[in-house]
Chain A
Amino acid sequence: MAAPFTRVYRPLWRIITTTTLNKGVRNVSSTRQQWSAQNVKTAGVASPWALHGAVCLQRLPVVSQDRSPIEDEFMELMHQMELERSLLSDHELRLLEDAARMSRKQEEESDEEEEDYRDKDIFTAQDLEDIWEQKLKQYQPAQRSQGVDEKGVSSSERCLAESLILLVKKDVGSQKLWLLPQIQWQTGETLRQTAERALASLPVGADLKATFLGNAPCGFYKYKYPKDIQKEGSVGAKVFFFKALLSGHKHLPLEKNSFAWVKKDELQDFLKPEYLKQVRRFIMAL
């Protein structure tokens, strides 16, 4: 069966906003404006391939990556150069003036009293600076890594500097395989809705809110059923992948054996080679 064609999709308008970093996951929220799906047209020819929609759910990186040694050195050098080339700011000028005034006052005791009365501030610039330093010491920045075990793949808060992909372990035929969450397509829905259903159909422990970015699939994989299952009408299955970004908080770690959040280079430990080859094509490692 061919996939249905919606002629005019919902006009692709969203307002996509990212709010400031909340713990663990960046909030990607999108509000859709209008939706009109018209003219769902199905072709009448039945094809021997079953259709599945799968979702590639990604958690975006939360902090920036660490700098390499060369980048560090370069940054230091640029800082130094910029400091040397820059002009003094107001605060620094005030500091210098105050210092000069103090030294003059100590040398010549009597003459400077008028000046002092005229521009006597409550705080000198140096005092202000000390107050600011005190406040800075009280400030605690958040940790760059949440202290989660980096090797354990079940938490979505590992490796905050990179993007992670969700994998599930599923029974396919007789074996258990690691796959991207997928589900069979039903007549009357678009493939994207199939992908959304695939996400929603994951077990309840995973409260995953995701934003799908577009109506077009990003990847494709087809496989044939083993010979004993192949019948007249079904040769194999075609899987269409859709990309989605994790948008809600999710603190609960999922079951270790059925869910995994992995980086791109760890994918080869989990996926079959053929599947991996197709999946790798559309996953960007930053």
Chain B
Amino acid sequence: MNTLLTKVLLLQNTRALLCAASSLQSQVLTTQMPLGVLLTNRQYRSMPTHGIGKYRHLLPKALPKKKKDRVQAKQIKAATATEFGVFNVCVSGYDMTLVEHYSQYIHNLCNHLDIKVDESCALPTKSTEVMVMQEQGTKMYVDAVLKTHERIVQISEMKATLFPIFMEVVLKNQPEGVRLCVKQHTEADYQARFKTRPELEGLLAKIHN
């Protein structure tokens, strides 16, 4: 604090001196005194180094973090004469590694051929219980549980001339044990992926009744 006071006094002294000596045009004006001690370290705008060290303007604009919106239903584009609309390539089977690798293969193929892939998702696994009838008796007991896995690659705006080539490549590389199905995408398909809400449906039923 003392040093600051002394510096202030010194400054005032020099200022006084400057004012006094300005008329005399003395060399005090060119003093080496660090006038910038109290003043901030700003460069003058005409100095070439003005703004040196600034970086905030180079960073990407960080948008304010918004809460996750509810997933909106996308508009399903219709087919035109030269392009398909939105269609789903469904891969299903019992062996999950095969099914997943095949769906990844299809997705990579689309990326490579510049085909737009809207979504690449999985449908819930369906379990099938294989029940075997006992030989002496009427009771059935569970023999095996088979799980059917399903993956969907949703493609939109594919050119009609490219489609036969794409289908041929996909069919020729289909592994054994995997079933392939190419279907048009409908609203019903989209809604089927959501979970049912029994309370909501109960309340709606009550309102209507």
| In the complex, B180 has a CB within 8 A of chain A | yes
Q: Are A12 and B176 in contact (CB under 8 A)?
A: no
Nearest neighbor of B169 in chain A, beta-carbon distance: A284
Map CB proximity to A onto B156-197 as digits: 1 under 8 Å, 0 otherwise. 000011011101110111111001111110000000000000
Q: Are B164 and A15 in contact (CB under 8 A)?
A: no
- B contacts with A: majority SS: mixed
Which residue from A12, A58, A284 sits with its C-beta under 8 Å from B84? A12
Q: Which of A199-227 contact B (CB under 8 A)?
A: 213-216, 218
| In the complex, A13 has a CB within 8 A of chain B | yes
Q: Are B171 and A18 in contact (CB under 8 A)?
A: yes
Given contacts A18-B171, A64-B175, are A13 and B79 in contact (CB under 8 A)?
Answer: yes
| Chain B residues whose CB sits within 8 angstroms of the CB of A182 once the complex forms | none
Map CB proximity to B onto A19-60 as digits: 1 under 8 Å, 0 otherwise. 111000010100001000000000000000000000000101
- A contacts with B: majority SS: loop
Which residue from B160, B161, B165, B176 sits with its C-beta under 8 Å from A63? B176
| In the complex, B81 has a CB within 8 A of chain A | yes
| Chain B residues whose CB sits within 8 angstroms of the CB of A15 once the complex forms | 181-184
Given contacts A12-B79, A13-B79, A28-B171, are A19 and B179 in contact (CB under 8 A)?
Answer: yes
Q: Are A18 and B161 in contact (CB under 8 A)?
A: no
Q: Are B181 and A216 in contact (CB under 8 A)?
A: no
| Chain B residues whose CB sits within 8 angstroms of the CB of A284 once the complex forms | 168-169, 172
How far does the alpha carbon of A250 sit from the alpha carbon of B168 in the complex, in Å?
20
Nearest neighbor of B84 in chain A, beta-carbon distance: A12
Q: Are B176 and A216 in contact (CB under 8 A)?
A: no
Which residue from A14, A18, A286 sits with its C-beta under 8 Å from B180? A18
Q: Are B169 and A16 in contact (CB under 8 A)?
A: no
| In the complex, A9 has a CB within 8 A of chain B | yes
Q: Are A16 and B181 in contact (CB under 8 A)?
A: yes
| In the complex, A273 has a CB within 8 A of chain B | no
Nearest neighbor of B143 in chain A, beta-carbon distance: A135
| In the complex, A17 has a CB within 8 A of chain B | yes
Q: Which of B119-143 contact A (CB under 8 A)?
A: none
How far does the alpha carbon of A195 sit from the alpha carbon of B167 in the complex, in Å?
19
| Chain B residues whose CB sits within 8 angstroms of the CB of A154 once the complex forms | none
Task: Point out residues on B near A: beta carbons under 8 Å.
Answer: 79, 81, 84, 160-161, 163-165, 167-169, 171-176, 179-184
Task: Point out residues on A near B: beta carbons under 8 Å.
Answer: 7-9, 11-21, 26, 28, 33, 58, 60-61, 63-64, 163, 213-216, 218, 243, 245, 284, 286
With A243-B168, A286-B172 known, 17 other A-B pairs at CB within 8 A are A8-B81, A13-B184, A15-B182, A16-B167, A16-B180, A17-B179, A18-B180, A26-B171, A33-B184, A60-B172, A63-B176, A64-B175, A213-B164, A216-B161, A243-B164, A245-B168, A286-B173
